[in-house]
Amino acid sequence: KAIAKDESSQPFGEWAAAAEVPWKYHVVNDEALLTIGDLSFPCMSLQDLVATEERVRPKADLYWFAPHVDRKSSYPRGRFTASSLGRRADVEAGGLVELGRAIAVPHNETWDKVGDGMHQILGVGCRRKMSRDDAQGILGSRGLNSLIKAEDTLEILSRLQNHAWTQWPGATLHPEYPIMYSNEKSQRTLGWIDLLVETDAGYVIIDHKSYVGSDLEEKALSYSGQLAFYSEAVELATGKPVLGCWVHFMFAGKMVELRLLQSKKLGVA
């Protein structure tokens, strides 16, 4: 309520009446005071609010919310998938191993489905003995019976297992091994290593890919960021070294080794 300085106030005002608190507006030594009960507060009537100078609009824009600041260049991603990591400059292809014949599969819109089905067969087959009926059942559940033969999938499984047990005698195969990892930059990832080979001396990481082109070593390098990150995570989690990282080109019948040129912690921009 606006009250002139020379106006007598009522014992109760409209806004104070609800609380039934006695109040008074008065002037003492040219200072306006509002007295409520035993307390007095300096105040000002609306007549005192006449602008004495022109207000100047601030030069800076005003926002209801703080302006957006792009911090992508300053802060790394908090979460990511290992498969999203690209090629690393400090990794080289260490060599190519022949596992067997190339197996033809349709390279069309069903390509990813065939690859997923083969991943499942390798995962199940590395846990327990896989029969033709088992493979046929997996292919049938995914609608892949007309695209790849069960016998071909069992051949891919068998030659991978034989190579692993020949190369690393007495090894234990851990398919689809889950991994959750936070690095020194507090970046987190959750994923699955296609095949983790455990030996007494350490671990070997194998990643299955469907690619069947002629440039397998170059293609393998495009996955170097993913495998290098798995390598770092496994070493930190187990305290044992990773002896090697391999890309298994399932249908091409070949494996390519990836070698880290120098010891370096992996971060993600």
The model's pLDDT over 157-185, given as tens digits with 9 standing for 90+, comes to 999 999 999 999 999 999 999 888 776 77
Rounded Cα distance between 194 and 174, Å, is: 8
Range of the structural domain that residue 13 is part of: 1-56
pLDDT over 70 (residue 6): no
**pLDDT confidence tier of residue 202, bands split at 50, 70 and 90:** very high
Boundary (domain end) residue, out of 39, 56, 73: 56
pLDDT over 70 (residue 19): no
Higher pLDDT, 226 or 31: 226
Residues 31 and 114 in one domain: no
The model's pLDDT over 53-109, given as tens digits with 9 standing for 90+, comes to 555 555 556 556 666 666 655 566 667 666 667 778 778 888 899 999 999 887 776
CA angle 242, 170, 103 (to 5 degrees): 80
CATH code of the domain in which 217 resides:
3.90.320.10
Boundary (domain end) residue, out of 56, 71, 94: 56
Residues 171 and 218 in one domain: yes
Residue 77 lies in a domain: no
Residues 37 and 106 in one domain: no
Residues 98 and 179 in one domain: yes
Residue 175 lies in a domain: yes
Q: How confident is the model at residue 8, as a pLDDT? A: 44
pTM: 0.67
Q: How confident is the model at residue 54, as a pLDDT? A: 56
Residue 221 lies in a domain: yes
Residue 96 lies in a domain: yes
Total structural domains in the chain? 2
Residue 67 lies in a domain: no
Q: What is the largest CA-CA distance in the chain?
A: 106
